[in-house]
Amino acid sequence: MPSDFISNEEIIQMARRRLEQGVWDYLVGGAESETTMRRNRLAFDRLAFRPRVLRNISSIDPSTTFLGQKLRIPVVLAPVGSLQVFDPEGGIAATKAAAEFGISHVLSSVTEPSLEGVMGSVDHPKMFQLYVHGDWGWIEDIVGRVVEAGYKSLCVTVDVQYYSRRERVMVERYVQPTRRVPRDPKYAASLTWELMDKIRELAGLPFMIKGIATVEDALLAVEHKVDVIWVSNHGGRQLDHGLGSMDVLPEIVEAVGDKADIIVDGGVQRGSDVLKAIALGAKAVAIGKLQAWGLSANGTAGVVSMLEILEDEIVSAMGLLGITSMDQMTHDYVCRTDAVVTDPHEMSSWVNMPESRIP
């Protein structure tokens, strides 16, 4: 495999060549008409930069701190189910990449290998994401394992009360591994704030809720002592016809203030996207598709290459904006404008590579 990728465009091209159609569709597709997924991208495209000049930008530090851990760039690897379809090592490959580069990995509860196997693969802080697929006894067991293994925080995903119609994979008749094991849908459908309280108290770890898309729910999360509000619409893979994550981020940040940290995902494809999210008040962003593309292209090394390219884009943009640290990246550096790409898709950040041209 090549180790000299110069653009994430090349990583995606390599990933496409290596993935069968069903796996590719699982990775890049959204729900139904994919309107929410496209709005995720449009929300970034409708933000423009306001650069400042004649500042000393000879030394730039793109790092930040999230939940007590220093991140080389304000990015975490999002929880992605079935990572093993992108690389045989699955979650271990992603965790190794996070450790090598210097960020954090949020391990999905529906990827292989086991949470203990991933934790034991490399000595580096990790976070764990939970889908609730069982009763209270089941929850006690898996949360106990998470705590015992030494994960630094617990994230519960709450926007999967019903599994969506992801028609790209449905048309292809592809079923990802997480859907091949029958699960009783009543457990996800019966999640409540009261149950979140019980899980938070049981874990005794910094607690994140992933899937917040409105101010109303963000304020409820604060009331229920959530440490991190994860603004997300599941990458446009659950409820279709929603707003883009970046469209709702500013009002959530304003409502929450300093009562909780905020992380955002959905449509992050470039270093400039990371900076836009920070400018609007996010502490960090989470990346899913980029992570899986890197794994598909070249395993752990592919993810590290992807992150290095992302870092280079971030540092370049910071210098051209006239800032040297993330705490300087405020809303003063962005403004609303019209989107140039009017029909965004999963490749729209790489305008020289429409999907039809991917080998």
Tokens representing 181 are: 């094991």
pLDDT the model gives residue 359: 55
Please name every residue paired with 112 in a beta bridge, in sequence order, or none if there are none: none
The alpha-carbon radius of gyration of the chain (Å, integer) is 19
Q: Is 166 left (phi over 0), alpha (psi -120 to 50) or beta?
A: beta
Q: Give the integer Cα–Cα distance in Å for 43 and 277.
A: 10
Q: What Cα–Cα distance (Å) separates residue 341 from each residue in 25, 198, 242, 348, 352?
A: 22, 45, 19, 7, 12
In the chain, the N- to C-terminal Cα span, in Å, equals: 16
Do 260 and 239 contact (CB within 8 A), yes or no?
no
Count, residues in the chain: 359
Do 267 and 41 contact (CB within 8 A), yes or no?
yes
Who's near 66: CB < 8 A, 6+ residues apart? Answer: 74, 76, 104, 261, 263, 283, 284
Tokens representing 96 are: 């190794």
User: What architecture does CATH give domain 8-337?
Assistant: Alpha-Beta Barrel (3.20)
What is the 8-class DSSP label of residue 258?
Answer: T
String of b and e for 43-78 (b: at least 16 CB within 10 Å)? bbbbbebeeeeeeebeeeebebebbebebbbbbbbb
Q: Give the integer Cα–Cα distance in Å for 345 and 354.
A: 9
This prediction's pTM = 0.96
Which entry of 105, 224, 234, 331 is annotated as an active-site residue? 234
Active site residue 234: yes
pLDDT the model gives residue 354: 60
pLDDT the model gives residue 356: 47
Can the peptide bond before residue 74 be classed as cis, meaning omega within 30 degrees of 0? no
What is the 8-class DSSP label of residue 158?
Answer: -
User: CA-CA-CA-CA torsion for 240, 242, 245, 249, nearest 10 degrees?
Assistant: -160
For residue 306, how far is the Cα from the chain centroid?
Answer: 14
CB count within 10 Å of CB 258 equals: 5
Residue-level pLDDT, tens digit, the chain, 359 residues: 445 899 999 999 999 999 999 999 999 999 999 999 999 999 999 999 999 999 999 999 999 999 999 999 999 999 999 999 999 999 999 999 999 999 999 999 999 999 999 999 999 999 999 999 999 999 999 999 999 999 999 999 999 998 899 999 999 998 888 777 778 889 999 999 999 999 999 999 999 999 999 999 999 999 999 999 999 999 999 999 999 999 999 999 999 999 999 999 999 999 999 999 999 999 999 999 999 999 999 999 999 999 999 999 999 999 999 999 999 999 999 999 999 877 787 788 886 666 545 55
pLDDT the model gives residue 1: 45
Tokens representing 142 are: 């898996």
CB count within 10 Å of CB 189 equals: 11
Q: Give the integer Cα–Cα distance in Å for 17 and 246.
A: 31
User: Which ranges of 19-135 would DSSP assign to H, the alpha helix?
Assistant: 21-28, 35-45, 91-101, 115-119
Amino acid at 138: W
Do 158 and 190 contact (CB within 8 A), yes or no?
no
Q: How is the chain split into domains, by residue range?
A: 8-337
pLDDT the model gives residue 348: 84
